[in-house]
Amino acid sequence: MSMIDSGVEVDDLGYVDVNIYLAQLGFDEDAFSSMTSKDVVLAPGLPGESIDAPSSYAAFSSWASDIGKVYRGQGLSVGFALPEGVERREILRKAADVLLPPIVFFSQAGLAVGLNILANWLYEDFIAVFGLRRVRVEVLDIEADSMTLHRVKYEGPADEVAKILRSESKKKKKKKK
């Protein structure tokens, strides 16, 4: 874990095989192709917390719907990582910290654009309504081998997390070229 001068913790959580990650969410091996057809996939759970939920439903951050609307409003296709026959429920936290859903990007182009959209939403919309609250988000992006996801968690004041996400977006855009 590294602390950036702005008070944001950036925690590189390493790499996970796509199929193992999807299996942890309750998907079978055929799910990968349906997931990769989306620009952005919102996953159940909360970054850095384990949730004990029955297999009949998947517990999503209460912010998942808002994040999905933001991405759709910018023209990206959005999916929820929800196995067939499983009900989507929201987790409501009464904490000062805002825990966004894990966000999975299955393309480098989607990652670059998606990080910038999230940064803009945090800075322009979220802060205007909720103020400078602490935010935690986990971003997963597909590696060049198309079978490995890289996981990074960001946590800190919303405005500073937005700046770091915007900076990461610019790096990804340069890397893509």
User: Is residue 47 very low, low, confident or very high in pLDDT (cuts 50, 70, 90)?
Assistant: low
Q: Phi and psi of 151, rounded to 5°?
A: -110, 130
For range 116-126, the mean pLDDT: 87
**Separation between Cα atoms, residue 36 and residue 57, nearest integer Å:** 22
Residues 76-104: pLDDT tens digits? 888 887 777 777 767 666 655 677 888 88
Q: Which amino acid is at 7?
A: G
For range 167-171, the mean pLDDT: 86
In this structure, is the dihedral angle defined by the CA atoms of residues 155, 27, 41 and 14, taken in order, positive or negative? positive
| This prediction's pTM | 0.79
| Whether residue 40 has pLDDT greater than 80 | yes
| Whether residue 48 has pLDDT greater than 80 | no
| Whether residue 54 has pLDDT greater than 60 | no
Q: Which of residues 92 and 158 earns the better pLDDT score? A: 158
**Separation between Cα atoms, residue 67 and residue 101, nearest integer Å:** 8
The residue written with tokens 């004990």 in the block is 52
In this structure, is the dihedral angle defined by the CA atoms of residues 107, 49, 59 and 68, taken in order, positive or negative? negative
